[in-house]
Amino acid sequence: MRGKEDLVWIGRSVNIRVWWLVAGSSQFLSSNILKSINYSSNQVWVSPNRCVQTRVPVVKAAISEDLKDLAKFVNAEKAVTFKVRAVLTVRNKYQEDFKETLVKKLDALADQIGRNVVLLVHSVDIDPKTRAPKKSKEAVLKDWSEKSNLKSEKVNYTCDILVGSDFGIPGAISISNKHQKEFYLESITIEGFACGPVYFPCNSWVQSTNDHPNPRIFFSNQPYLPDQTPAGLKLLREKELTYLRGDGKGVRKLSDRIYDYDVYNDLGNPDRGSEFSRPILGGQKIPYPRRCRTGRLPSDTDILCESRVEKPFPLYVPRDERFEESKRITFSTSRLKAVLHNLLPSMVANISKKHDFKGFSQIESLYSEGVPLKFGLQDDLLKKLRLPNIVSSQGGGLLKFDIPKILSKDKFAWLRDDEFARQALAGVNPVNIEKLNVFPPVSQLDPEIYGLQESALKEEHISGYLNGLTVQQAMEENKLFIIDHHDVYLPFLDRINALDGHKTYATRTIFYLNESGTLKPVAIELSLPRQSKRVVTPPIDATSNWTWLLAKAHVCSNDAGVHQLVNHWLRTHATMEPFILSAHRQLSAMHPIFKLLDPHMRYTLETNAIARQNLINADGVIEQGFTPGRYAMEISAAAYKNWRFDLEGLPADLIRRGMAIPDPSQRHGLKLLIEDYPYASDGLLIWEAIQNWVRTYVTQYYPDASFVCNDSELQAWYAESINVGHAELRNETWWPTLANVEDLTAILTTVIWLASAQHAALNFGQYPYSGYIPNRPPLMRRLIPDEMDPEYVSFLEDPQNYFLSAIPSMLQSTKFMAVVDTLSTHSPDEEYIGQRQQTDTWTGDAEMVEAFYMFSTEIKRIEQEIERRNRDTSLKNRCGAGVLPYELLAPSSQPGVTCRGVPNSVSI
């Protein structure tokens, strides 16, 4: 033992303990590094960047390299107890109904007679005598009843807890809620330990013991890999994961927090009638990703189909995955439910199903004058529905839509070929355009099933638009590009065109790259089954102008379906759900990778559940509003067979589509063939920022490949995501391995990219670009007549009327516009990339907190660069007269429909 003025310097690898004699008790602080002791300031430096302030003066410090001798000395001291204080931050509800208010008051009364919220603190250490984890005494929140009437958004409750002087560092808290009502626990802070405040990020609902008898477990913000878990927390870590996995049995209660898998056997409603039956997606017959299991009973008429829960009743998702109140108010209550349950029936009552627009001015009147709604809409509904704007008028209500962004700078822009082509690079679906490598294009469909699918495109169709180049020369100079929806639609054309009011082709569109860096469409191929094909080229007279306009509308209709069903729903919603389910089932909340992924999983399960209930279900919004109709999800499932996780990252996707070539000399390791490709050029900035952040984070916890391979939870997460969540594709050889730091960085970067930037690019431009139906009709009702067609005469006599009768009717249009307006809206509680809850305390790793701030700074820099690009007149696909700036990947946004903003997760 040394005197109190002596200081023993020890190596960085020696684990030491500092011992204070404080008022007759002893407290301990573990550290890997002792930098110095400042007696005059009562400070102990426990790492190069962390100082602990003692609560009372240091009387004596004893330091020894011989831990066994120190332990003997410590045990000679008589252990005593002391108090620490826990502060629980609970979030109040904004709105409470009468029942909730009554229960809240009863809970306040019950709290006074012993039905309390009870806390128990768990140490990271094991009691050497009992070999069991050390625990505090049980304690109750002492001011619940006193603060029960507070109306503030957040309320802090306190609790004094007795712990032994040899307790060690707190690592977990268990909470028993003996009230009747659940409450939302945002965080817990414990003060009074020598190590300083200990933070517990919670962000979770704590259920009543009446519903869930077992205590809730919350871990501190200190990250631990599985084999680094302190002895006192190992059993709690396993216990919590076991609960979250469930047993795969029974009907889930809305208060449950169980994550499990199921197939898509809930889209149809056979009990409503055979026409509402739909195939089961998932399984060898129709491969598809898995969704969250609800355990609902089978339908009455088909035992393989799950019974439906129809709006307004909610589908099960684990309790903590439900929308928080501000988002629920914005969407589920006042917007989405109102649109689906009140607004749309009101439209049906006032607009004939066959009422076509009488002119383009009538479409524009939807933004200036509005649509009259059914008399008798309640005033509170009118107030709640802010966007689209509904204002009262004599005799009923008026549905008034905001002007879509596509009309904001040039209301005739949609008519121009250059704008039609620009949207392939900077619109709502900029991920289908490919470099043309073979001419004529070749189908990949099985000729034994679909026949020999030879393209009708010939060199003479496009040679006049290539500035003197041959087709081969233009391809060699990277001048020709294609959007090819032929193979997606052709297998379904007969069935789609047999539907009432649904008519479509399988389309291919060829583009030529101008010297200015813009594209121009040079040919559109329209295919029907049995080799019925025609090619439409840019117009040369009035008749061909209308034919060309109709052909572009059919291309946009094809593209809208692929965008919604494949690129948007399948590739960012459905394929991500298994990774989220597996993360909750296999990664402890203490796991550093769970902490990394947590903000990128927010709200996705609830969003997907709402989609299954209202959007992609039988007779839902997608079936009613898009060309594929009842075959929409079968098209999505067909596309899943070609989905590859290893090609979903942005650089790999650009190279796959031929839009970029590998080039180590370039910043991102590749060169874009179209330099002014706004989605790609902005996306690469965000991709690189995500990749750098992930690499910094991963290397903090995985010094080498052995740490990755030996992380049981990490390996289980990835394996279950593939083997269970993507069961039909589990044997594919293209799945990336998870064997080293580089593998893990690539996998996590792809997951975060898809959940954040990729989803934002595909989602938040829906109303801005599709809110004006002629620009991007989601549904076509008539084919293009040729000279032998009886409709050709009416087409010649009134081509405008024919065009308006081919796009969606007024009812179909307004229903579609109301929904995509809702889906394009940012909620007030949106968290954008570079942001996260409890920014300073989401992890106990100070280095990673600092690294995240650096990531946030980089995201802000990227936003400034995007704004600069949008002012650069040389970039004609994002700047120019009447040209919309590309802001879909600008990271931040205000609430509402803004056509910008990158949320952390698939949150709508």
Active-site residue (options: 573, 591, 600, 826) = 573
Active-site residue (options: 217, 433, 616, 908) = 908
499 vs 629: CA distance, rounded Å: 8
5 vs 39: CA distance, rounded Å: 9
Active-site residue (options: 568, 668, 726, 826) = 568
693 vs 597: CA distance, rounded Å: 12
User: In the annotation, is 908 catalytic?
Assistant: yes
Q: Are 248 and 273 in contact (CB under 8 A)?
A: no
Enter the tokens of residue 19: 């011992």
The residues that bridge with 306 in the sheet, in sequence order, are 298
* φ/ψ of residue 122, rounded to 5: -110, 135
436 vs 420: CA distance, rounded Å: 18
Q: Are 192 and 829 in contact (CB under 8 A)?
A: no
- Smallest Cα–Cα separation from 100: which of 148, 168, 163, 157? 148
First to last CA, the chain: 63
481 vs 169: CA distance, rounded Å: 62
User: In the annotation, is 212 catalytic?
Assistant: no
- Smallest Cα–Cα separation from 214: which of 231, 234, 198, 236? 236
841 vs 509: CA distance, rounded Å: 52
How would you label 544-556 residue by residue, b for 16+ Cβ within 10 Å and e otherwise?
eebbbbbbbbbbb
* φ/ψ of residue 863, rounded to 5: -60, -40
- Smallest Cα–Cα separation from 651: which of 583, 749, 728? 749
488 vs 122: CA distance, rounded Å: 56
680 vs 432: CA distance, rounded Å: 12
425 vs 414: CA distance, rounded Å: 15
Q: What's the distance, CA 400 to chain centroid?
A: 29
Enter the tokens of residue 506: 């399988």
Active-site residue (options: 429, 763, 775, 877) = 763
20 vs 139: CA distance, rounded Å: 27
User: In the annotation, is 763 catalytic?
Assistant: yes
Residue 732 is given by DSSP the state: -
Q: What's the distance, CA 56 to chain centroid?
A: 48
Q: Which residues contact 16 (CB under 8 A, 6 or more apart)?
A: 10, 30, 31, 34, 63, 64, 65, 67
Q: Are 433 and 424 in contact (CB under 8 A)?
A: yes
* φ/ψ of residue 411, rounded to 5: -70, -10
- The amino acid sitting at 719 is A
Q: Are 61 and 72 in contact (CB under 8 A)?
A: no
User: In the annotation, is 826 catalytic?
Assistant: no
User: In the annotation, is 524 catalytic?
Assistant: no
Q: Which residues contact 465 (CB under 8 A, 6 or more apart)?
A: 512, 520, 522, 523, 537, 538
Enter the tokens of residue 414: 């949609």
Active-site residue (options: 179, 584, 759, 826) = 759
- Smallest Cα–Cα separation from 588: which of 170, 172, 206? 172
Which residues are catalytic, by number? 568, 573, 759, 763, 908
